[in-house]
Homo-oligomer: A and B are copies of this chain.
Amino acid sequence: MDVREALYTTRAMRRVKPDPVPEEVQLRILDAAIRAPSGGNSQAWRFLIVDDSEQIAEIGALYSDCIDMLWETIYKDQVAEAAAAETAESRQFAKIIKSVTWAQKNFASYPLLLFAFDQFDTTGGSIFPAVWSAMLAARADGVGSSLTSVLLFKNDKTLDVLNVPKDQGWRMACCVPMGYPTGTWGTAGRRPAHEVSYRNTWGTPLGAEVNEPLWP
């Protein structure tokens, strides 16, 4: 698969089938992840693959509670706006709520979770390139994924389920549920580059517009 196809079409795939992800695919995902950069090439990361259905169901119960907390706190305003559905943004957010609600109800049927941990990393810059590499490598094998840090709402309980030591500086960065998607891949719609980019100093226009995706 062309690198641009992966970069453009690896959108959040929450609706996946319960079919298992074969070990050889799991290993390709992990081997891609560890090629990513980290500060000082420290590679101070751990990856935890969860494919035991009881473990996944336990995480799913925590995930469901965390999503409820997410809607009631950080995204409280967006949830209200999504219900009113008066703008394109709010209708887009309503789609995300629907997709996340699917994940909440069907979490136990995910065949695979990938957890990533970093150590003494204050920016996230030494773990999220690896996580994103894992998701792109999964995409190349037809495996869908979505990235969530919502379990941080129940960090202690999640670490307990996964048996993660709490005295060594390891931080849970995220959980990435994975599986073969029920839907189709497509280019992710986004606010165009020139609306979120500047040249040389903050606020100075880029000097060019990108009104259509530059791939394919």
Partner-B contacts on A (CB < 8 A):
1-8, 10-12, 23, 27-28, 30-37, 39-41, 43, 45-52, 55, 75, 78, 92-93, 96, 123-125, 127-129, 131-133, 135-137, 139-140, 146-147, 149, 152, 162-165, 173-174, 187-188, 190-193, 196-203, 206-208, 210, 213-215
Given contacts A11-B37, A214-B28, contact A3 B203 (CB under 8 A): no
Question: Please, how many angstroms separate the alpha-carbon atoms of A51 and B198 in the complex?
Answer: 11
A130 (CB) vs chain B CBs: closest residue:
B132
Given contacts A27-B214, A129-B147, A214-B31, contact A2 B1 (CB under 8 A): yes
A45 (CB) vs chain B CBs: closest residue:
B196
Q: Is the CB of A147 within 8 A of B174?
A: no
Q: Is the CB of B7 within 8 A of A133?
A: yes
Q: Is the CB of A200 within 8 A of B92?
A: no
In the A-B complex, the 10 residue pairs with the closest CB atoms: A124-B124, A128-B128, A129-B132, A30-B193, A163-B201, A3-B6, A47-B197, A31-B214, A3-B3, A163-B202
Question: Please, how many angstroms separate the alpha-carbon atoms of A201 and B12 in the complex?
Answer: 25
A31 (CB) vs chain B CBs: closest residue:
B214
